[in-house]
């Protein structure tokens, strides 16, 4: 199995702080999420990621986002990070992540970038920013990609439009500001997560 979770929505906690990360991740996991991304442009991510790996690594795929360098990958591997999400297509970053046995969700926008990521070993792709391209673009891109490769829509995905991206061929989505905004209370994260879970389940009916 290429994608290693049961629920293909990735929670992106951009801007999360170490002192609050546990309560938000706990709320997400209780709601049904099992893929959590902490971007590297979040405050003190070096504390948050290993903390979440230790506490929730057996329940969820804990990973890092906005991973730009091989040095980042090597540092994250030492923390036990299991998922690498990139905003761009960087073959060196992808190859090093795969060498460590991590799941890679590589950011891409074009067919050239998508195939470059796959040739480097990426197991999954994220189309970013999806809201700028739209579901029709993703559907056309999916037509030339290997059918077994999971594709995620990232950027501008909401509970209201999630079904459009999934019907275009996405297996799921990465959820940013419509799920979590820096500073919001854990209960708001829980409520937003519940809305996304409901929207995802409705597509499956």
Report the catalytic residues: 37, 126
Give the C-alpha distances (Å, rounded to integers) separating 168 from 39, 41, 48, 133, 136.
26, 30, 34, 12, 7
User: Does residue 152 contact residue 9 with C-beta atoms inside 8 Å?
Assistant: no
Query: Tokens 């442009």 — which residue?
Result: 41
Q: What whole-number distance in Å separates Cα of residue 29 and Cα of residue 11? A: 10
Q: What whole-number distance in Å separates Cα of residue 111 and Cα of residue 184? A: 37
């Amino acid at each position: 199995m290429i994608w290693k979770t049961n629920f293909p929505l990735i929670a992106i906690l951009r801007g999360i702080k170490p002192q609050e990360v546990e309560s938000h991740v706990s709320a997400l996991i209780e709601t049904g999420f099992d893929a959590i991304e902490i971007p590297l442009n979040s405050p003190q991510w070096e504390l948050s990621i290993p903390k979440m790996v230790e506490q929730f690594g057996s329940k969820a795929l804990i990973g890092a986002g906005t991973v730009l360098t091989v040095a980042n990958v090597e540092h994250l591997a030492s923390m036990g990070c299991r998922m690498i999400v990139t905003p761009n297509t960087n073959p060196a970053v992808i190859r090093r992540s795969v060498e460590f046995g991590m799941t890679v969700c590589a950011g891409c926008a074009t067919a050239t970038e998508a195939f470059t990521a796959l040739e480097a070993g990426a197991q999954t792709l994220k189309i970013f920013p999806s809201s700028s391209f739209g579901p029709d673009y993703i559907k056309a891109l999916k037509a030339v990609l290997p059918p077994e490769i999971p594709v995620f829509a990232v950027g501008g995905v909401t509970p209201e439009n999630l079904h459009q991206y999934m019907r275009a061929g996405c297996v799921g989505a990465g959820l940013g500001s419509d799920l979590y905004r820096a500073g919001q209370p854990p209960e708001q994260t829980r409520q937003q997560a519940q809305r996304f879970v409901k929207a995802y389940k409705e597509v499956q009916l």
